[in-house]
Amino acid sequence: MSDDRPTPRLPDLDHAPYLRAALDLAREGQAAGSSPVGAVLVNHEGQIIARGRNRVGEAQTPEHVGNASVAHAEMDLYFQVGKLEDPHTLTLYTSLEPCLMCGGASALLGVGRIVWATDDPWGGSGRLIRWTDHPAMQDTQVVPTPEAHLEREGALLFAPEAKRAFPEEGWQLWRTRYPRETAPADQTDVERT
């Protein structure tokens, strides 16, 4: 039996407002004591239908997964929204390139497009497997860092967390990818000595 409903396609969207919303949520996460990562889910009409932010450093509530390693911004968003209707018509916007868990979950849920503000050269899924090579990502459009000024903003926001949380190898990858944006975090260490 075929479904005669028209399939909405992914709209051409101005990515900037949605990436700004994700960056605002990242700041909320940071202010609450979690990592500065935020995400929004947008439908084919351009409406934000769900918002999430990192909650690893926060208590779990009935509304939000928290106090767990899986309490990433994207997972917070997916737990809130529940079952996705027509996921292939949805766009996930994140402040930071999703990790393998969040990227894999997005693909397995069938999200049509993923857009992120800032690359994560250490923790991003793309470091472990190219997005286009991931078997589950074949039907997902991936749009990394489409707005240079927002990419820089996200890198400045996350760099102190990358320096704190990642091993030296990870921090070196961040310093190579974002030398100007990581300099303030390195300068903070110099000022302390």
Asked if 169 is an active-site residue, the reply is no
| Helix 179-192 vs helix 148-165: crossing angle, to nearest 10 | 40
Q: Give bridge partners of residue 50 from the DSSP assignment.
A: 41
Q: Which of 58, 63, 74, 161 is catalytic?
A: 74
Which residue numbers are catalytic?
A: 74
